[in-house]
């Protein structure tokens, strides 16, 4: 096995900031970290159809600021803001603090690695061929202005007996260049043959 480094963690403080911005020590750090996991899990379960890519959490003495980056903000906000109010109430009950929720729109979902991976995973669940799904996602990203993209799927592809890994790449994806603005995301497809993983790695122009 080679040593694999997460592309986002590798570039922290170079061209990418932390998704959680707060400080704590000792047992408090452990508790807040677990709370972050619960907050993210709750938001993702409530906004499954909203195309959520990233959740940023900032903590202040008596307040938690949650910024949600989504491709479909209208779905997350709901009619007259009903859905986002319900979401905020649920987060306040979960954390026991005052929560402020901000929704930011992703203007080009085809350039967001997490959304690209979820798109491929959804197509796999609808029994579309993995090669066709990857080829379509690669083409859309390049048309939207990506400098390069790499998509990989792994598992029992096409319900084969043995699991394997396939990938498609176009353009340049310099994974060791720290200056490169590389985005990374993963998603899982639950098919009749089992779970199939999808990974998206893209360089934004």
- The top-level CATH class assigned to 109-203 is alpha beta
Q: pTM of the prediction?
A: 0.86
Q: Could you say which of 3.40.50.620, 3.40.50.1100, 1.10.10.410, 3.30.300.20 is the CATH number of the domain covering 15-105?
A: 3.30.300.20
Q: What is the pLDDT along the chain (205 residues), one digit of tens a residue?
A: 567 788 888 888 888 899 999 999 999 999 999 999 999 999 999 888 888 999 999 999 889 999 999 998 898 888 888 889 999 999 999 999 999 999 999 998 899 999 999 999 999 999 999 999 999 999 999 999 899 999 999 989 888 889 899 999 999 988 888 888 889 999 998 888 888 887 777 666 5
pLDDT of the residue at 204: 62
pLDDT (0 to 100) of residue 194: 84
- Return d(Cα 72, Cα 58) in angstroms, integer: 22
pLDDT of residue 4: 79
Domain boundaries, the chain: 15-105, 109-203
pLDDT value, residue 203: 62
């Amino acid at each position: 096995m080679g040593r694999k480094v997460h592309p986002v963690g590798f570039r922290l403080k170079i061209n990418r900031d932390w998704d959680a911005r707060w400080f704590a020590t000792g047992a408090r750090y452990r508790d807040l970290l677990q709370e972050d996991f619960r907050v993210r899990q709750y938001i993702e379960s409530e906004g499954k159809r909203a195309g959520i890519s990233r959740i940023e959490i900032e903590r202040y003495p008596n307040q938690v600021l949650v910024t949600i980056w989504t491709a479909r903000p209208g779905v997350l906000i709901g009619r007259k803001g009903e859905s986002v109010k319900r979401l905020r109430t649920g987060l306040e009950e979960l954390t026991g603090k005052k929560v402020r929720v901000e929704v930011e729109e992703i203007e080009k979902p085809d350039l967001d690695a997490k959304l690209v991976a979820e798109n491929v995973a959804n197509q796999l669940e609808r029994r579309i061929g993995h090669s066709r799904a990857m080829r379509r996602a690669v083409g859309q990203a390049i048309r939207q202005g990506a400098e390069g993209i790499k998509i990989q799927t792994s598992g029992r592809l096409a319900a084969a007996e043995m699991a394997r890994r396939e990938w498609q790449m176009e353009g340049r994806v310099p994974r060791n260049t720290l200056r490169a603005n590389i985005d990374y995301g993963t998603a899982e497809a639950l098919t009749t043959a089992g779970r199939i993983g999808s990974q998206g790695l893209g360089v934004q122009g």
